[in-house]
Structure 1
Amino acid sequence: MRKIILNLAVTLDGYIEGPNGEIDWLETGGGPPEDAAVESHFDKFLATIDTIFYGRISYEKWGEFQPPEGASVAETKLWNGVHSKNKYVFSNSLKKVNGKPEVINSDISTQVQQIKKQPGKDIWLYGGASIITTFMNLGLVDKYLLAVFPVILGEGKPLFSEIRNRVDLTLKSTTPSSGVILLEYDTKR
């Protein structure tokens, strides 16, 4: 069965955005933005998935994002890879999205289990915080790949909030990369 993998950048104090939605801290990794180890990690990750799950807000911000003119080859490659995947948007308010993504707005657990049973590669749970919380509370996340950035924001949008159930994890690997630490955990079942 396919696995659902939460792959996300997070600050050392557990935030995924600053208090005003800022993500400028992603540039504080200690190395160049195209750090070879992080880039290699993400390229390898993209090769293991063929589907992305988004919450509505994350999809509206990033689901069809196009890099600016003059973007690096690495950034263009990254976004081409992301946009080549099947996409699902989880939303209570949207009924349809322009283009290819399918919208899911009811019976999340059953529909996700049906998608997991389909043939294919693993599934990236992209976010945001609300859909991550829903998936965690439903026990739907199989693996966590977290890029922990060397910054403490003090406030913002936490990665884990309103989690109702304990989640025990098994550490699979740690990879330091120019100040960022890549952590891989499997969910104990």
Structure 2
Amino acid sequence: MKKVILDLATTLDGFIEGPHGEIDWCIMDDDMDFDGFLLGIDTIFYGRVSYDAWENYQPEEHAHPEEQEFWKKIHSKNKLVFSSEKRVDERATFIHSDIAEKVAEIKKQGGKDIWLYGGAGLIRTFIQHNLIDVYRISVHPIALGSGKPLFEDLKERLNLKLIKTNVFKSGVVQLIYTPE
């Protein structure tokens, strides 16, 4: 069965973006093997705002070839957008109701795992409905003091079991958990 993997960056003080939506603090090291992660997924779950912001993103024309290839890989994935907005889009399937039921159906389909990209509202919904199978949290060596927290409005404790830790040359520490 496919797994839903929340893979995201957070600051040392627990924010997934700064107070004005900034993510300029995110580090991408070549030893992070993000390509390996992308090879293990065939689907990306987006919230509508994140989808609108990133689905059509193209690096600048003179960007490094590795960055261009990175975005080609992301854009090649099957995209599902969770939104109250009913919309038809040839690049994605929009889901507007019965989230837990739809996710269960998708997980039963063949293929590779699913990247829960976000945004924050969708991540919060998935946490509240226990729809995340793996938490891959990359903690960056920076504290912002304010911003959008990863674990916002938890209704109850979220008990996780650490299954792996990766330390990268930049000082980023990736913590991989499964729910208990």
TM range (shorter): over 0.9
What's the TM-score once normalised by structure 1's chain length? 0.91
Q: CA deviation at 1:64?
A: 2.2
Alignment correspondent of 1:134: 125
| Aligned-pair CA distance for 1:171 | 1.0
User: Residue in 2 aligned with 1:21?
Assistant: 21
Which segments of 5 or more consecutive residues in structure 2 lack a partner in the other structure? none
Task: Name 2:35's counterpart in structure 1.
Answer: 43
Report the secondary structure of 2:25's partner residue: helix
Counterparts of 2:79 and 2:156, CA distance in 1: 27
**CA offsets, 1:86-130, max 9 Å, x none?**
0000111x2114322000111101111111111111100000110
Tell me the residue number matched to 1:91: 83
The alignment's C-alpha RMSD in Å is 1.2
Q: Which deviates the most, 173-182 or 127-136?
A: 173-182
1-structure distance, mates of 2:135, 2:99: 20
Q: What letter corresponds to residue 57 of structure 1 in structure 2?
A: V
Deviations 1:17-71 (A, max 9, x none): 1111111111xx4xxx5x2212x2x111101100000001111111221111111
Q: Take 2:134 and 2:178, find their aligned partners in 1: how far apart are those partners?
A: 4
Partner of 2:66: 74
Consecutive unaligned residues of structure 1, counting only runs of 5 or more, are none
Do residues 59 (structure 1) and 51 (structure 2) align? yes
- Percent identity between the aligned chains? 53
**Aligned equivalent of 1:172:** 163
User: What code does the residue aligned with 1:49 have?
Assistant: I
Q: Following the alignment from structure 1 to structure 2, what is the Cα–Cα distance between the partners of residues 75 and 60?
A: 20
- Letter matched to residue 25 of structure 1: W
Which residue of structure 1 aligns with residue 3 of structure 2? 3
Secondary structure, aligned partner of 2:49: helix
Task: Give the whole-Å Cα distance in 2 for the aligned partners of 1:103 and 1:17.
Answer: 25
**Secondary structure at 1:24's aligned position in 2?**
coil
Matched AA of 1:19? P
Q: Superposed, which structure 2 residues align to 1:95-106 within 5 Å?
A: 95-106=86-97
Residues in 1 aligned to 2:62 and 2:53: alpha-carbon distance in whole angstroms: 20
